[in-house]
């Protein structure tokens, strides 16, 4: 499992670097960013906007951070120390890492004449997607890490992936992020999860 963690880390790191290079140099992928953003904005509807606003608000990084804190306390109460450490380190650490990344890249958010949402913070990588990926990703790993619960992976992983996808789509649809913002955020989260969990693979989560 440690080897798998290293492979995931290397692969995600390489892809993140490629996306970051495109964003910094404003080539190739950034052109796709603009086309996707404009298409989504042009095809927005009132009902879908309201639904996705609910999704995006429920997955605010601070809300997920608070829920993760409660889950950490639950695991501490159960004396599942490595599970508690994993949730605390991965979720809270990812929030800090994302803030640092945003200030390092300082990418402006998409702009429209009639925006659905107005934000003044930096765009790259998406904080909502990072938070959702580490939150659902960590919970998925914890739930399927027990030998007696491996069969749960059949439905736990698809649910976790679907939730992350839904949050990512909501951020693009609302005009808060470009496609590359959410892709990079997902990869950033995967990198962080791999960095944190790889040293713990031989411990009981």
Q: Which residue has the tokens 């963690």?
A: 5
Confidence (pLDDT) at 2: 66
Secondary element (H or E) of residue 133 = helix 127-144
Q: What pLDDT was estimated at residue 153?
A: 64
What pLDDT score was predicted for residue 205? 47
pLDDT digits (tens, 9 = 90+) for 144-173: 776 555 566 667 888 889 999 999 999 999
- Reported as a single tens digit per residue, the pLDDT across 44-92 is 999 999 999 999 999 999 999 999 999 999 999 988 888 898 899 899 9
Buried b (16+ CB within 10 A) or exposed e, 74-109: ebeeeebeebbbbbbbbbeebbebbeebbeebebeb
- Do 166 and 55 meet the contact criterion of CB atoms below 8 Å apart? yes
Q: Which domains does the chain have, with CATH numbers?
A: 2-200 (1.20.144)
**Cβ neighbours, 10 Å, residue 54:** 10
User: What is the model's pLDDT at position 188?
Assistant: 96
Helices and strands of the chain, counted as H and E runs:
9, 0
Q: What is the DSSP letter of 89?
A: I
pTM of the predicted model as reported, rounded to 2 decimal places:
0.88
pLDDT of residue 50: 95
């Amino acid at each position: 499992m440690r080897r798998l963690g290293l492979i995931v880390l290397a692969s995600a790191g390489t892809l993140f670097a490629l996306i970051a290079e495109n964003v910094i140099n404003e080539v190739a992928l950034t052109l796709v960013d603009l086309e996707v953003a404009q298409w989504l904005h042009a095809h927005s509807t009132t009902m879908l906007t309201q639904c996705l606003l609910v999704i995006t608000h429920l997955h605010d990084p601070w809300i997920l951070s608070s829920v993760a804190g409660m889950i950490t306390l639950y695991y501490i109460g159960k004396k599942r120390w490595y599970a508690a450490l994993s949730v605390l380190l991965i979720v809270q650490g990812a929030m800090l890492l994302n803030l640092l990344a945003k200030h390092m890249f300082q990418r402006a958010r998409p702009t429209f004449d009639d925006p659905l949402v107005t934000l003044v913070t930096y765009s790259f990588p998406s904080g909502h997607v990072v938070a959702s990926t580490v939150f659902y990703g960590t919970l998925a790993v914890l739930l399927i890490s027990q030998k007696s619960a491996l069969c749960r992976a059949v439905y736990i992983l698809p649910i976790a992936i679907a939730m992350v996808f839904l949050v990512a789509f909501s951020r693009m649809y609302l005009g808060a992020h470009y496609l590359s913002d959410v892709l990079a955020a997902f990869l950033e989260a995967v990198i962080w999860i791999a960095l944190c969990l790889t040293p713990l693979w031989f411990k009981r989560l």
